[in-house]
Each structure stands twice: as C-alpha cells, then as structure tokens.
Copies of this chain bind each other. A is one copy, B any other.
Amino acid sequence: MRVRVLGTAAGGGLPQWNCGCQSCCRAAELGVQLSQDCLAISGDGNSWYLVNASPDLRTQLLATPELRPPPGTRRTPVEGVLLTSAELDHTLGLLTLREAARLPIYATAAVHQALRQAFPITEVIGSYTAVQPQTVSDRQVLTAGLAAEIAVVGDKRPRYAGELRGTGWVVAYRFTGAGRSLVYAPCLPAWSDAFEQIIDGADVVLLDGTFFTEDELTHASGSDRPASSMGHLPIRAALPEIARHPRTRFLFTHLNNTNPLAHPDAPELADLRAAGAEIAAERQLLVLE
C-alpha cells in the first residue's frame, strides 16, 4: 500500500487568502503554503484512489508524478474518489476531474444526497463525464488488493446543506492491503467508540489536527467558537488517547491556518513529539509493505 499526502490544511489552506493573522502573514513571508487536505492511496502503486477532492486538487495532482497519465495517453491513474464528508473543501475538486473518461465517487448516502440536491455537483459533472456514484458499504473492495471500511464519526452537515436530514455526514476510512492498514480521519469531532474500533491495530492513523487547543480561535481572531463546537477534537485532547496506542503511528492533518503546529519551529511541537505523534507533511509518501 502506498499513500501520498496531497494536502494537509483545513478549509482555506495556509495562508488563507483573506486572513492577515500572525500565522498567515508569517506563512506568506516565508513562502510556506499548505494546501487543503486530500490523500491518494494505492494497493499496487499503479491504480490510485483519491480520498476527498480538495479545491487545490489540480495543483496537487500536478505535484505528484505517479498520478500523471503516461505520455501520449489520457489514461489517468486516478480510479475514483472516496469522500469523508460533503464539505466544500472536500468536494469542490470533483469539478476539476470532469475531464476524466468516467468518475466513480464513493460516499455515504447522506453525502451523495448533498451533492445531488443541496449543491448538484454530481449533476453538473454529469454534463462532462460519466459520474458513477457508489454508496459506501461497511467493506468496500477497490482495485489492486485495496479494501476500505468506514466508521461514522460525526453528523455535522455542511453549512450549505443545513436543511438536509440523514446520518453518516462525517466518516473515517480504514484502508487495508497486503495485511497493512491505514486510517484517514481528517475531521474527528470526538474520540468515540466507533473511532477507537476502526483504528484498532492500524499501522498508521492520519487524523484531525485542525486546532491545537480548544480555544485557539479566540486567541487568534477573537472568535468565540471553541474547536468542539466546530466538529474538531483539538490535538491537545487527542494526545492522551494516542498514548494508549504505542504500536500505531499517528500523523495529524487538516491543520487550520491558526494552528501553531503548521509552522515547523513551533515550541508546541515538543508536546507532540513527547506523545510520539507527528504532523503530516505536504506530498509526504507513506509506504506500508
């Protein structure tokens, strides 16, 4: 199993285009750019699935040689997309893929409903290519020895889909191939039983690192919205849980522009290192063999 981290930031990326906070200004000065969270995963290194389709997908694909079509062809190695939610920062990149010959999209019934009714992305893409919506079941067989299981970890609907009902709005995926396993959970509101179960014995877990602390937005921008109200377990609250899984490698992703850990010289990284956890890096390759 090979996994390429395509992007590691929360919605808006770092810097965020309209934000002059200290972290965004510093990133702009240093030329640091974190793109919005997205993953590519493959069982054999040839056929790849995207997990989420970020608005930055075009540049993320171009920065990843293994996702380019062979010269003289339009045979993209991208087999399909699995979605962890219907949030715009996880789905807008689907529109970039409209030139594909066909586009399988794996998601829960609730997420498909949002993309069909509240914001008809799949219908629009259907004017350009053959969209193949698949409702993810408990165990999804993909190509090249890869399989995926889901755990529902949250029920926060995207703001644009506030009228819709249903459950299964936010999921984590556990991918397995040749006896190894990786969990991807870029949005995790709480360390629930369902999450504990899906990460059990996993080799690698990439998880929600949106905020370092519960009150981070208050300090950064005067907002009164704590992390938990926005559907994100802060890193500091996740660290004690991680300590209970010493055989699993944990990497945080989906970092908000206010998160101090987005900068490699942050003193707060010492807490992370002490817990044996890491921050996922843009374009990082994970090889699980």
The answer to whether the Cβ of A127 comes within 8 Å of any Cβ in the partner chain is yes
Knowing A13-B58, A25-B71, A56-B58, say if A88 contacts B98 (CB, 8 Å): yes
The answer to whether the Cβ of A191 comes within 8 Å of any Cβ in the partner chain is no
Q: Complex: how many Å from CA A127 to CA B55?
A: 18
Whose C-beta in chain B lies nearest to the C-beta of A77?
B18
A60-101 residues with Cβ-Cβ distance < 8 A to B are: 61-62, 65, 67-76, 78, 88, 92, 95-100
Q: Complex: how many Å from CA A65 to CA B25?
A: 11
Interface of A (DSSP majority class): loop
Nearest-neighbour CB distance to chain B for A30, whole angstroms, equals 12
Query: What are the residues of chain B within 8 A of A124 when measuring CB–CB?
Result: 88, 118-119, 160
Q: Complex: how many Å from CA A25 to CA B72?
A: 8
Is B159's CB under 8 angstroms from A70's CB? no
Beyond A18-B74, A20-B69, A127-B159, 5 additional pairs, beta carbon < 8 A: A17-B62, A18-B97, A28-B68, A56-B59, A128-B160
A residues contacting B by CB (< 8 A) are 12-13, 15-22, 25, 28, 33, 55-59, 61-62, 65, 67-76, 78, 88, 92, 95-100, 118-120, 123-124, 127-128, 159-160, 162
